Chain A
Amino acid sequence: MTDVSAALGALASTAHPVRFSGLGRSFGRPVLRDVDLEVAAGEVLAIVGASGCGKSTLLRIAAGLDAPTTGTATIDGTAVDGVDPRCAFGFQQPRLLPWRSIAANVSLGLPRGTAAAAGRKRVARLLELVGLADAAQLRPREVSGGMAQRASLARALARNPGVLLLDEPFGALDALTRLKMQDLLLDVHAAAPTTVLLVTHDVDEALQLADRVVLLGREPGAEGSTVVREIVVPGERPRDRGDARLAELRGELLEGLGVERHAH
C-alpha cells in the first residue's frame, strides 16, 4: 500500500465523472442503443455482458477512440471529442510495441511532458508493482501472455489518468496473479483517485472490485445492447468472498448473462 502511494503519489490526478447519455453506436446494425449511464468521480464501475454485446465499443467511445452514432459521452461535463488525454486505456489484448522493451512500452503511457528521470523512476516502480522488474529489458515476444497483459496494465497506470478504462485486464492471468493484480488495482485506486470503468466477464471479479455493476444486454424485441441491469454492490472493499449478499447478487448477474445466452 505504501509502495503504491510512493509510486503514484508524485503525480496525483483528479478523478473525473463520466456520463453516457442516449448513446448509440451502430456498425451497419445497432450494437449499442440508448445507453444512459452516469459514473461518479472516483467510482469503480464494472461492466459485464455477453461476448460481442458492445463492452469494448463502449470503452472505446469513452476514450474517444470511437464516436457514438447518437447521443454523447462526456467526461467531467465536456463532451469527448477525439482521443481524450484524461483517459488511459488497458486494452483487451496487450498491444505492446514489439520493438520496444517492456519498460519502454510502459513509458509510452507516461503523461506528455513527464521529465525523463521522473518517468524512468515511475516506470521502474510500476514494473515492480506488477511483478515485472526482472522483465524490464525483455521484448514483448520474450514474455508470457500474462506478463504482457501486466505490462499493458502498467502502461495504463503510468498515465495516472482521471479515468481508467480497463478492458478485461486480467483475462490472461492465472488465478493467483489475477488476485494479486486485483489487489493492486484496488491499492492504486485508493492511492491515486481515479474513476475506473472495468469490463470483465468474471462476475465474481466484478462483485469484488466494483462499487456498482452494470449488465449490458438486449431487451426483448430490440436490437443493440443497453444497460439491462444495474447493481450497487453492498459493503466496503476488500469484500468477503463468502458474503451471502454477494452470493445472491452473483446468482442474479449470472442469470442475467444466462438469459442473454438463450436469446442468441
Chain B
Amino acid sequence: MTDQTTATMEREGRANALGNPMLTPVGVRAQPGAARTRGSLGPVQRILLGALLPAIVLGAWWLSTSTGFFAPHQLPSPVAVVQAGVDYAERGLLGTYIAISTQRVLIGFIAGAVLGLAVGALVGLSKLGDAFLSPMLGGVRAVPSLAWVPLLLLWMGIGEEPKVVLIAIGAFFPVYTTVATALRHVDRDLVEAGRAFGYRGVALFFTVQLPAVVPSVAAGLRLALAQAWLFLVAAELLASSMGLGYVLSDSQTTGRVDRIILAIVLLALLGKLSDTVFGLAERWAVRRWA
C-alpha cells in the first residue's frame, strides 16, 4: 500500500513537473483528505455561495440601468436582454441558433476527440510514432486558432465543414496531449506485471495502459469540450448565417447590445452546463479507475 501510494505520488509528481495543468485535477483527487479538510461547507451552502456572485452582478446590472447610470444603447437592462431572447424565441430563431451551435460543437468535439485519442495513443505508446509525429504536431499546435480560418473558408466555403473542422482542431490538441503524456507515464512496473502474465499488444493496452490513463483522458476530454466552445465562436464570428457566434457578429453591425449580451449569457450557460455534465462523468471515471 505504501509502495503504491508512493508510486502514485511519483507519477503525479512527474506529470506535474511537466507543467501539464490537465493532469492536476486528477492528482488533487488522489488525496481525499485534502478536499475534506479544506472547508466544512455542505452542498446547499456551496450552491448558495456559488450563486451569490452572479446574483450580485445581476443586481448591480439592474440597478445601474434602472437608475439611468448607463444609457440603454450602452448597457441595456436585464429585462431588455430577456426581451431580446423572447423576441428571438417568438421568431423560432432562439432554439435553432442554440441547436445549430450545439450541433457544431458536438460534431467537432467528437471528431477531434476520436482523432486525438488515436494519435495520442500512437505517440504515447510507440517510440517510432513519437519521433515521427510529435515534432510536426507540436508545430501545428503552435498555430493560433484564428490563423486557420481564412484557409478553411477558402478551401471549404462557408458551409458547415469549415466550422466543424476548426472546432475539431480545437478539441484535438487537449486530447492528444493528455493521452500521449499520460500513456508515456503509465507505471512501468504495472506494464511489466501485465507482460509477465502474458499480455501483449492490444490485450496489454486494454488491460493495463488504457485503464491507467482513463482519469487523465477524462480530464483531457473535458478541456477539449471547453476548447470546442471557444473555437465555435471563432468559427461563427467570421462566417455564418446562424448560431450564437452569428448573433454576436450580426448584433455588432446593428448595434444591438441586448442581443450581444444575450448571446454571451447563453454561451456561458451552455458551456457551464456541458462542463458540469462532463465533470460528473470525469468524477465517476476517477473513482472507478484511479
Please, what's the 1-or-0 string for A120-146, where 1 marks a CB less than 8 Å from any CB in chain B?
000000000000000000001101110
Please, what's the 1-or-0 string for A78-91, where 1 marks a CB less than 8 Å from any CB in chain B?
00000101011101
Task: Name the residue in A85, A91, A98, A112 with the highest tally of chain B Cβ atoms < 10 Å from its Cβ.
Answer: A98
Q: Provide the residues of chain A in CB contact with B211, threshold 8 Å.
A: 97, 99
Q: Compute how far the CA of A63 lies from the CA of B198 in the bound complex, rounded to whole angstroms.
A: 11
Q: Provide the residues of chain A in CB contact with B189, threshold 8 Å.
A: 91, 93, 95
Inter-chain contact B197/A143, CB cutoff 8 Å:
no
Is B45 positioned at the interface, with any CB of A under 8 Å from its CB? no
Chain A positions 196-252 with a Cβ under 8 Å from a chain B Cβ:
none
Is B192 positioned at the interface, with any CB of A under 8 Å from its CB? yes
Is B284 positioned at the interface, with any CB of A under 8 Å from its CB? no
Inter-chain contact A144/B1, CB cutoff 8 Å:
yes
Is A169 positioned at the interface, with any CB of B under 8 Å from its CB? no
Is B14 positioned at the interface, with any CB of A under 8 Å from its CB? no
Inter-chain contact B4/A155, CB cutoff 8 Å:
no
Is B3 positioned at the interface, with any CB of A under 8 Å from its CB? yes
Select from chain B the residue with minimum beta-carbon distance to A87.
B196
Task: Determine how close the nearest CB of chain B comes to the CB of A235; give it in whole angstroms.
Answer: 33
Task: Determine how close the nearest CB of chain A comes to the CB of B33; give it in whole angstroms.
Answer: 13
Q: Provide the residues of chain B in CB contact with A148, threshold 8 Å.
A: 1, 4
Q: Provide the residues of chain B in CB contact with A97, threshold 8 Å.
A: 190, 193-194, 207-208, 211
Question: Mostly helix, strand, loop or mixed at chain B's interface?
Answer: helix
Is B290 positioned at the interface, with any CB of A under 8 Å from its CB? yes
Q: Provide the residues of chain A in CB contact with B207, threshold 8 Å.
A: 97, 108
Is B70 positioned at the interface, with any CB of A under 8 Å from its CB? no
Q: Report the count of interface residues on B (CB-CB < 8 A).
A: 25
Inter-chain contact B2/A145, CB cutoff 8 Å:
yes
Is A159 positioned at the interface, with any CB of B under 8 Å from its CB? yes
Q: Report the count of interface residues on A (CB-CB < 8 A).
A: 26
Which of B5, B7, B288 is the one whose CB lies under 8 Å from A99? B288
Q: Compute how far the CA of A20 lies from the CA of B112 in the bound complex, rounded to whole angstroms.
A: 52
Q: Provide the residues of chain B in CB contact with A65, threshold 8 Å.
A: 192, 195-196
Which of A85, A95, A112, A143 is the one whose CB lies under 8 Å from B1? A143
Inter-chain contact B4/A94, CB cutoff 8 Å:
yes
Please, what's the 1-or-0 string for A168-207, where 1 marks a CB less than 8 Å from any CB in chain B?
0000000000000000000000000000000000000000
Q: Provide the residues of chain B in CB contact with A94, threshold 8 Å.
A: 3-4
The 9 closest A-B pairs by CB, nearest first: A95-B193, A89-B196, A99-B289, A145-B1, A93-B3, A99-B211, A95-B189, A83-B195, A108-B197
Besides the known contacts A88-B196, A97-B211, A148-B4, 11 further A-B residue pairs in the complex with CB atoms under 8 A apart: A83-B195, A85-B198, A93-B3, A94-B3, A95-B193, A96-B4, A97-B193, A98-B8, A108-B197, A143-B1, A155-B197
Can you list 26 A-B contacts (CB < 8 A)?
A65-B192, A65-B196, A83-B198, A88-B196, A88-B197, A89-B193, A89-B197, A91-B193, A94-B4, A95-B189, A95-B190, A95-B193, A97-B211, A98-B4, A99-B211, A99-B212, A108-B193, A112-B198, A140-B1, A140-B4, A141-B5, A143-B1, A144-B1, A145-B1, A155-B197, A159-B197
